[in-house]
Structure 1
Amino acid sequence: MLLGAGQRIVFIGDSITDCGRRDAAAPYGVGYPSLVRAFVDARHPERELTWVNRGISGNTVRDLTARWDADAIGERPDWLSVMIGINDIWRAFTPGREAEAVPIDEYERTLRTLLRRAVDATGCRLVLADPFLIEADVDEPQRAETDRYAAVVAALAKDFEAVHVATQAAFDRVLRHSPSSRWADDRVHPGLPGHAVIADAFLTALAG
């Protein structure tokens, strides 16, 4: 397990990370951050870890930029987990919201800048999780675009020597045996079993 005793782990991202953490499910939400926290604490209670969820539904990298100082750097993480990009892509496929989509070059440039700022300001280590689409057909246009953005995240993980969580690959594994609808109604927002797929990928990556 890569997480050390007494460390502070901050999750930041969009609705997949938020998952009700600002409402009835405060402060951790009911998604993968809550599952990762629960299993890590159960397996390693002696490490007395602190967990923080700073996901906000609907966010893109542009939104993260506006709140990065407060919600990432200001939280003084030892580990900063970032999953962002689904909305950056999805908006391009949402009628009337195309202008809100974030082109891949802007996405890469913005995310790289944010990560560098966080590491330089706090000395944190990074966990970078791919954006995903729960869709088995790799030629489907939104899935194909998602794979391009996920490749950006994988490259950034190498550049920053970050822990890389291959969430798309995790969903591809289960999609070989079951339909997308088993994991999410809209291919984007997982139910609890889908969040368990993500959490399992996190736990495997953090095992070292």
Structure 2
Amino acid sequence: MNTATGEMWLQHTHLDKLYGYLPGLADALPTIFGMSRAAYSETIERFAAQARAAAAELLADPAFATRVDGLPFQPGQTVLALGDSITDDLQSWAEILRHVLDLHRPGHGVRVVNAGLSAHTTAMVLRRWPATLTAARPDWIICALGGNDVTRVGPEPTKPQVSRSESTANLHELRRIAAHSTTASWIWMTPVPVREDRISEYAAFRYGQSTWRNDDILRLAEEIRGFADPVVDLTATFKVPADPLLQGADGVHPTIAGQSAILRALVTHLNAGAGTTDRHTEEA
């Protein structure tokens, strides 16, 4: 594995979340990603610095900073970011949120737990969900799942990995379990639109015969917009097809500008009054 490939996987794949219980895993991670220990640490620090710079850039906008002042998170609360690789990204909206709070509301002690899991469908996350809730004890849950449910696999694929009805049922079950186990406020985010032209040209997706279609994403987004809790509609933020500056080279994973746009839409929504039963569609 060359350095560039190792960095790409490290950005979106965090084995410690899945297999942290295995003895010696932490010491083995640099080798797994084909890096020296020093290069591994430097890469993680660089991604963190870039996420922090994105947070500072957002806060340079007085309107955004004012919205951060109005966020409903109380001192000492925990925000659980639930999602797939878009959330798991070391430069994700959840990581930028962490830095925004640290820079603009220092000392408030709001904890952001990034529970994103790359390549996970709603069914896969559901299997781990009770343990995740027990470990995090969240006051807020922001759910950004479904992007892997709509993945299509194989030559001339005929169906998404998970049907829309099953995705919807899994999302409702995640919500039901959380309501039973916690008093957390819940926010939904719709899946992010893609660039189908970039997906078709991306070598890793061609090798795995994996593809995404915006029609599938829009249908699942429509289901989510009908949920009772507040919804941030990222199809409005990214547009369809996705804005080429917001969507990354592979057509699926947003650029850091796209991640910042996700957070801007979320903060705008939360500032307007999350935790109510009103649903809002926000644009970045």
Q: TM range, normalised to the smaller chain?
A: 0.7 to 0.9
1:73–1:118 contact (8 Å) kept in structure 2: no
After superposition, the Cα gap between the structure-2 partners of 1:180 and 1:81, relative to the gap in structure 1 and judged at 3 Å, is same
Query: What is aligned with 2:100?
Result: 39
Give the counterpart of 2:154 among 87, 95, 107: 95
Query: What is aligned with 1:11?
Result: 81
1:3–1:206 contact (8 Å) kept in structure 2: no
Query: What is aligned with 2:218?
Result: 147
Residue-by-residue CA offset, 1:147-172 (whole Å, 9 max, x unaligned) = 1101122112xx1xx33221111112
Distance across 1 between alignment mates of 2:74 and 2:271: 12
Distance across 2 between alignment mates of 1:100 and 1:15: 18
Counterparts in 2 of 1:1-208, with a 5 A limit?
Answer: 1-19=71-89, 29-90=90-151, 92=152, 94-95=153-154, 101-135=161-195, 142-156=213-227, 159=228, 162-172=229-239, 179-180=243-244, 183-208=247-272
Residue-by-residue CA offset, 1:10-51 (whole Å, 9 max, x unaligned) = 1111100111xxxxxxxxx22110111211332222432011
| Larger Rg over CA atoms | 2
Q: Name stretches of at least 5 consecutive residues in structure 1 with no aligned partner.
A: 20-28
AA paired with 1:69? P
1:73–1:122 contact (8 Å) kept in structure 2: no
Q: Name stretches of at least 5 consecutive residues in structure 2 with no aligned partner.
A: 1-70, 198-211, 273-284
2:122–2:149 contact (8 Å) kept in structure 1: yes
2:141–2:187 contact (8 Å) kept in structure 1: yes
1:36–1:202 contact (8 Å) kept in structure 2: no
AA paired with 1:129? M
After superposition, the Cα gap between the structure-2 partners of 1:146 and 1:174, relative to the gap in structure 1 and judged at 3 Å, is closer
TM-score, normalisation: structure 1: 0.80
After superposition, the Cα gap between the structure-2 partners of 1:142 and 1:111, relative to the gap in structure 1 and judged at 3 Å, is same
Superposition deviation, residue 66 in structure 1:
1.1
1:12–1:54 contact (8 Å) kept in structure 2: yes
1:136–1:172 contact (8 Å) kept in structure 2: no
2:78–2:112 contact (8 Å) kept in structure 1: yes
Q: Secondary structure at the match of 1:126?
A: strand
Q: Larger relative CO (CA 8 A, sep 6+): 1 or 2?
A: 1
Residue-by-residue CA offset, 1:168-205 (whole Å, 9 max, x unaligned) = 11112995xxx526631122101211111111111111
Distance across 2 between alignment mates of 1:85 and 1:199: 18
Say how many residue pairs are matched.
Answer: 187
After superposition, the Cα gap between the structure-2 partners of 1:79 and 1:51, relative to the gap in structure 1 and judged at 3 Å, is same
Q: Secondary structure at the match of 2:248?
A: coil
AA paired with 1:143? N
Q: Secondary structure at the match of 1:81?
A: strand
AA paired with 1:148? R
Percent identity of equivalent pairs:
26
After superposition, the Cα gap between the structure-2 partners of 1:98 and 1:55, relative to the gap in structure 1 and judged at 3 Å, is farther
After superposition, the Cα gap between the structure-2 partners of 1:99 and 1:136, relative to the gap in structure 1 and judged at 3 Å, is closer
Superposition deviation, residue 134 in structure 1:
3.1
